[in-house]
Structure 1
């Protein structure tokens, strides 16, 4: 295969954005050959903006069966991601899925099971995994520089959204239309990075989600979650769309120091000896390990969406290792599902979650969703 023939399903803001840089040639080896959208407005945009010879479809399954594509980028509403991916897998097509992987882990697990029966390349659009800040953090953890993880803390509250934003689409911020709020729409990248950088998932979660606290919406717009890890470490995740000015601060504490990422800078407070060793040997009344503040240089640029698309294309054409394997999309979604479920049942939730219970709880909310009343 000299190049990968790309099809795009979904011509909303994200789909259009991906198409624009593909047409500019920013992803060597990828050639746009087909697009699909069930809305006439989307197809008209394609007629006006894509190259001559690119096929335009109303039915995504017709595009899948056209023989004109090798790989498909899915940039549709959340609920449809697993269904469309599974259909692609059955046809032997490579798949890139926009975040999130889906709305509930039960359907994403079915998607992963379908993928396991293929030999295609499956990736998630976790473009923040190309950010050198988080890659350096992962390197510090993986190399042992930070020692055993003791605590994680992410305050990500710079997602300010006005009421007019939510009012711009009937599907927005509804259980049936979108499937969730800040956790599912704004936070998938952070939830993925939270577990990816330290290579650990929590063993249990206790969360407090507030629904329509700051805006006239039915889904969560303010969340505080506490997690426990198998090794005894703890973590906190705080997020909202109703706070201005907001904060984006990730702090990871380990046995050998602390790393903070804030304002696009990475600072490493490095202990000269581990806290465990210091505590075992120190005989004074007050004291602590010698600590050096290190402003860690960050080398490279964040290649963002283009980087993930290049990686996926190179995986298809040249066997390059995937940065964001598609089957890992369930991990961040597991965290958001656990936070919602913990709130709904007012209790701790063990991971992996009870997927049937989550699905039943979600269905109850879909039954009374505003989206049904609006359509």
Structure 2
């Protein structure tokens, strides 16, 4: 194989963007098929995509066609695992938009199907291509920071107005979207939180406010506290209702602290690790000497979506390592599921997550949801809402 034929299922905002990039920017890739149940989107595809790109209104016909080698799934959140399983069982490589799904039980089934298929599986975690977070991960995992003691991410610059939510009946509903700021805006940060540190919490206590700032049924303001196996603690604060917002990720370790903010990476590095200083210092008041280091990270935010598409294509063609393996999508989703469950039960939630309890609580929310799904692979239409943020 010298070229990967891509088929996209869901050609709304993000699906359309991916289609355009596949047509012009990705070496070794060719767009050969698209699928969407919305006649307007299919009409757009026929009018704007090359005649060689086949169009489908039915997912089953799309999979049976053999018109592609790899399937890019950019549909509603609930449909990601269902369609991915069908794609794997049809012997396709699969790249999914974030989040991996709405609940980890379905995502676990998707991961099992991927492993059984032996095909390539990726997820659109495009923020992993950002040199800021790549450098942060390198500093942490190489041991420069020492053992982590605290993580603290304030991500409150996801401002969204009421008119944003009023633009679609599925938005910010349990049945239509499966969550609010945690599932729509924050999947990237929840992924980066564990990806850059290499750590998942041992337990979570979260306080979610539902419809605090907007007339919606899901969470729009969250403060979560976590504890790790090594005794470190963490805080994750997010909302769509503050302006101006903040995006500041701070990590404290034995060797100092690192802050990622405003596209810059700053390392306050101790000349002597704090545990060693504490064990040897006898002067009472005092603290380790500290150097402020501006860490070079390169210009811009990296290739983003294009970078993930190129990396996935290269993985299929030449077996290059995936920057964002699809199986890792369950990690960030576990964090958001744990936060929801903690808020719903007003209690600590330990990891591994009680997936059956979360699923049962989610079904209760869906039953009272203001949104009612129509027909489709998982009860919803094949419309791209996953990447609209």
TM range (shorter): over 0.9
CA distance in 2 between partners of 1:355 and 1:373 (Å): 23
Report how far residue 255 of structure 1 moved. Answer: 0.4
Distance in 2 (alpha carbons) for counterparts of 1:72 and 1:362: 28
* Counterpart Cα distance in 2 of 1:44 and 1:160: 33
Give the aligned partner of residue 320 of structure 2.
320
Which residue of 1 is the match for residue 263 of structure 2? 264
Q: Tell me how far apart the structure 1 counterparts of residues 177 and 334 of structure 2 sit (CA, whole Å).
A: 17
Paired position in structure 1 for 2:165: 166
Corresponding residue for residue 2 of structure 1: 2
In structure 2, C-alpha distance between the alignment counterparts of 1:246 and 1:47, rounded to whole Å: 41
Cα distance, 1:374–1:89 mapped onto 2, change above 3 Å: closer
Q: CA deviation at 1:61?
A: 2.1
Distance 1:215 1:320 in 2: 44
Structure 1-normalised TM-score?
0.98
Tell me, yes or no, if structure 1 residue 124 matches structure 2 residue 123: yes
Offset at residue 92 of structure 1 (A): 1.0
Is residue 170–residue 374 contact of structure 1 (8 Å, CA) maintained in 2? no
Once the two structures are TM-superposed, the CA of residue 299 in structure 1 deviates from its matched residue by 2.5
Counterpart check, 1:141 vs 2:133: no
- 1:19 matched residue in structure 2: 19
Cross-structure match for 2:215: 216
Distance 1:63 1:374, change over 3 A: closer
Distance 1:58 1:320 in 2: 33
Q: Structure 1, unaligned stretches of length 5 or more?
A: none
Q: Is the 8 A contact 1:270 1:292 kept in 2?
A: yes
Q: Corresponding residue for 1:367?
A: 367
Hey, what does 1:232 align to over in structure 2? 231
Identify the residue that residue 307 of structure 2 maps to in structure 1: 307
Partner of 1:201: 200
Distance 1:373 1:116, change over 3 A: closer
Deviating more after overlay: 291-300 vs 199-208: 291-300
The residue that corresponds to 1:289 in the other structure is 288
Question: 1:159 deviation in Å?
Answer: 0.4
Q: Equivalents in 1 of 2:372, 2:81: separation in Å?
A: 22
Deviation of 1:102 (Å)? 0.1
Deviations 1:168-226 (A, max 9, x none): 00000000000000000000000000000000000000000000000000000000000
Q: What CA distance in whole angstroms lies between the structure 2 residues aligned with 1:310 and 1:113? A: 25
Count of equivalent residues: 374
Q: Which runs of 5+ in 2 are unaligned?
A: 376-389
User: Structure 2 CA distance, aligned partners of 1:318 and 1:196?
Assistant: 25
- CA-CA distance at 1:300 after TM superposition: 5.5
- Distance in 2 of aligned mates of 1:67 and 1:22: 18
- What secondary structure sits across from 2:208 in the alignment? strand
Runs of 4+ deviating beyond 2 Å: 372-375
Report matched runs for 1:32-47 at 5 Å.
32-47=31-46
Which gives a bigger RCO, structure 1 or 2 (Cα 8 Å, sep 6+)?
2
Counterpart contact for 2:176–2:373, Cα < 8 Å: no
Over the residues paired in the alignment, what is the CA RMSD in angstroms?
1.2
In structure 2, the residue matched to 1:152 is 151
